[in-house]
């Protein structure tokens, strides 16, 4: 993630597949990123305040529709700070 502006609730999410503008909110339990993908599906990522020795706990939920059915997906892992 780069170019985060918490006052404007914007950030740029950078991944292997490219970059996308996202909405970002800071709450008492972490950062929440809301992305609308190219095909219109919603991706919500929460980077928690919970920290392990490896990094911050992160959960991503994807809400995709395909072939007339919902195809929900959820992933969890660790997020680290790159400098």
Mean pLDDT of 8-24: 88
Contact 26, 34 (CB under 8 A): no
Provide the 10 A C-beta neighbour count for residue 47.
Answer: 20
pLDDT of 14 > 90? The answer is no
Q: How many CB atoms lie within 10 A of CB 35?
A: 18
Does pTM top 0.85 for this prediction? no
Q: What is the pLDDT, as a whole number, of residue 20?
A: 85
pLDDT tens across 23-81, in order? 999 999 999 999 988 788 899 999 999 889 999 999 999 988 888 898 999 999 998 88
Tell which residue, 82, 38, 45, 30, has the closest CA to residue 64. Answer: 38
What distance in Å separates the CA atoms of residue 59 and residue 44, rounded to the nearest whole number?
8
The per-residue pLDDT for 26 is: 95
């Amino acid at each position: 993630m780069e170019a985060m502006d918490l006052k404007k609730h914007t950030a740029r999410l950078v991944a292997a597949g490219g970059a996308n503008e996202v909405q970002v909110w800071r709450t008492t339990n972490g950062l929440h990123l809301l992305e609308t993908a190219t095909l219109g599906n919603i991706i919500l990522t929460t980077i928690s305040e919970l920290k392990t020795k490896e990094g911050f706990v992160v959960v991503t939920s994807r809400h995709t529709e395909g072939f007339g059915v919902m195809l929900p997906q959820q992933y969890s892992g660790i997020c680290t700070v790159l400098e």
